[in-house]
Amino acid sequence: MAPELAQPEKVNVLIVGQMGRLAYEALLFALSFRRNITNNRFRLFVAEPRPGPKWNTDPAIRPEPLREMITAQGATIVPFESVHFGRDYPYGNKIEALFALPKGEPFVFFDTDTLVTGDLGDVPFDFSKPSASLRVEGTWPQIELYGPGYTDIWKSLYDRFGLDFESSLDLDQPDEYWRRYLYFNAGFFYFSCPHVFGTSFLEMALSIRADPPRELVCQQLTPWLDQIALPLVIHKFGGGRDALPEGYLDGKTTVHYRNMPLLYARESDAVVDLLEDISAPNPVKRLLKDYEPFKRMIYQNRGHKVRALFDRDHLPSREQPIRQKIKKNGFWMV
């Protein structure tokens, strides 16, 4: 049996919050975090972009009672500068927000549309070996007829940054099948230092955006840029697809629900019960009802109408058919 990993005294958990959807999702995340985290080693930070030229409006979390309710759950709101991304590529928030965390302390980043469903203290993190979410479909690259294949496209990126391509491959998967190549959803990722990780993440993303290898000529970089750079960063620091045992994140400890219709369509009864329990108190309800998808799905019972459309023991393997069925029945909201 492998020896237990020594766990760090502090772990910083990071999400991004700003005006609109992310502010309301941040409150749900904070409520679920407070409900399930029993170990005070884990500290929640909500990174908030500062206003500036990369935003056409002030992105601060508001209204003020919503902001106060988030901090009442024990979260610390920390500002960060949008130097390279901002409104034109908000997915870049997760890269620039890393620099708002303390240097040299391990971190876990989560997309804000996530619920904490168990105790993060039970997750056997090895922060020296980063990893990210494998709840992912083959969204990038999209192979074009007569264009470069998966191997040529991914190898060009590894070569760009001086990384060993061959050691990133899953040789149990067939050649030119997307799962053979290191690819993650950026819904969570972790490492021993946010500034070290963030520096490489930023440099790689900016390099790919400004001067993509010629093998990427047929490929869309938006909105996939973060997920193109992420496996390169993880591979650079010695992590990979097997760095974290299955069943914890995107499993019994966290759920990346993406939006309310999908949560009700495919997540377990326990997740729905948690959602409805933490959102039930009147002070919380008064705030969350201001966001239309939460009002309709949680408080006006549309979520259970979505739920009745699906057999969760026999869900489609891909997300698109689930989305299409929800839309066909008039329940899609984002």
238-280 pLDDT, tens digit each: 999 999 999 999 999 999 999 999 999 999 999 999 999 999 9
Average pLDDT, the chain: 96
**Angstrom distance (rounded) from CA 223 to CA 248:** 27
Predicted pLDDT of residue 146: 87
Predicted pLDDT of residue 2: 47
Q: How confident is the model at residue 4 (pLDDT cuts 50, 70, 90)?
A: low
Question: Tokens 């995340």 label which residue?
Answer: 29
Predicted pLDDT of residue 8: 83
pLDDT > 70 fraction of the chain, expressed in percent and rounded = 99
Q: How confident is the model at residue 38 (pLDDT cuts 50, 70, 90)?
A: confident
pLDDT of 145 over the 90 cut: no
pLDDT of 1 over the 50 cut: no
Question: Around Cβ 295, how many Cβ atoms within 10 Å?
Answer: 16
DSSP letter at 299? I
The closest alpha carbon to 17, from 29, 5, 33, 35, belongs to: 29
Report the predicted TM-score, pTM, of the whole model to 2 decimal places: 0.96
**Angstrom distance (rounded) from CA 32 to CA 275:** 8
Beta bridge partners of 15: 46
pLDDT of 81 over the 50 cut: yes
Contacts with 206 (C-beta within 8 Å, 6 or more apart), sequence order:
84
Predicted pLDDT of residue 5: 67
**Angstrom distance (rounded) from CA 115 to CA 259:** 11
The length of the chain is: 334
Q: How confident is the model at residue 18 (pLDDT cuts 50, 70, 90)?
A: very high
Coil, strand or helix at 324: helix
The closest alpha carbon to 125, from 256, 9, 5, belongs to: 5
Question: What is the average pLDDT across 14-36?
Answer: 97
